[in-house]
């Protein structure tokens, strides 16, 4: 029984990216904007607890050379950004042999919710406190968002509150629809 794939049939080095979100909806006027940023390159860096190979603490996020570096767990960091910038950062950072680096671009979705009422919309589907004192720009956390285990990152854009949400890509359309629905009541409401 022949089970191998003949050479030339498929490339695993550069698979075409396809978002799990197939239907996008326009934000109602005045509601927070929800965008699909799943095509961002996403690399997981794992090290021993207490190590900080990228110089970013657990529950914090910062930008370096165009790449968002996120301390998502005590032993895990996420790198989010343009593929070339992420590759350059990885190539120019010294890691010891115990550090692993895995591209998770195709396994995780990434949504961005932006707007002055974005925290209020998120609070409808998530139990975290998104008050500026509790979850300022650069903060990270993990929680259930519309019953989907998610990583959340506050990453303000042009001084406007903005949140990145990462989850397993199989929940893409469901999570997008749930968050979009949560934003609807904030249409035409001034801050």
**pLDDT value of position 11:** 40
**pLDDT value of position 68:** 98
**pLDDT value of position 8:** 45
- Side-chain half-sphere of 71: how many Cα atoms within 13 Å? 19
Q: What is the pTM for the complete model shown?
A: 0.85
**pLDDT value of position 190:** 54
178 phi and psi angles, rounded to 5 deg: -65, -45
CA of 120: how far to CAs of 7, 48, 113, 180, 185, in Å?
Answer: 52, 36, 11, 13, 10
pLDDT over 90 at 2, yes or no: no
**pLDDT value of position 95:** 87
pLDDT over 80 at 187, yes or no: no
Please state, in angstroms and rounded to a whole number, the distance separating the CA atoms of residues 140 and 164. Answer: 9
pLDDT in tens, 128-154: 999 999 999 999 999 999 999 999 999
Domain chopping of the chain, boundaries = 33-186
When pLDDT is cut at 50, 70 and 90, the band that residue 160 belongs to is very high
pLDDT in tens, 14-72: 567 778 777 777 766 677 999 999 999 999 999 987 777 899 999 999 999 999 999 99
Structurally, at CATH architecture level, domain 33-186 sits in 2-Layer Sandwich (3.30)
User: Is residue 32 within 8 Å of residue 115, measured between CB atoms?
Assistant: yes
**pLDDT value of position 49:** 78
Please state, in angstroms and rounded to a whole number, the distance separating the CA atoms of residues 85 and 80. Answer: 9
**pLDDT value of position 32:** 92
**pLDDT value of position 3:** 41
Judged by DSSP in three states, 150 sits in strand
Could you say which DSSP state residue 128 is in?
A: S
pLDDT in tens, 96-136: 888 999 999 999 999 999 999 999 999 999 999 999 999 99
């Amino acid at each position: 029984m022949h089970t191998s794939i003949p050479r030339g049939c498929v490339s695993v080095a550069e698979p075409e990216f396809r978002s799990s979100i197939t239907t996008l909806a326009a934000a109602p006027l005045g509601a927070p904007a929800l965008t699909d940023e799943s095509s961002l390159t996403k690399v997981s860096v794992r090290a021993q607890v207490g190590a900080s190979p990228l110089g970013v603490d657990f529950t914090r996020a910062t930008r370096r050379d165009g790449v968002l570096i996120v301390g998502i767990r005590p032993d895990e960091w996420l790198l989010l950004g343009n593929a070339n910038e992420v590759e350059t950062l990885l190539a120019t950072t010294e890691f010891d042999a115990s550090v692993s680096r895995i591209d998770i671009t195709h396994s995780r979705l990434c949504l961005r919710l932006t707007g002055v009422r974005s925290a209020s919309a998120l609070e409808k589907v998530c139990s975290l406190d998104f008050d500026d004192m509790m979850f300022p720009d650069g903060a990270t956390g993990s929680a259930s968002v519309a019953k989907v285990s998610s990583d959340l990152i506050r990453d303000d854009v042009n001084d406007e509150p903005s949140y990145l949400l990462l989850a397993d890509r199989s929940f893409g359309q469901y999570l997008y629809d749930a968050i979009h629905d949560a934003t609807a009541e904030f249409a035409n409401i001034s801050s």
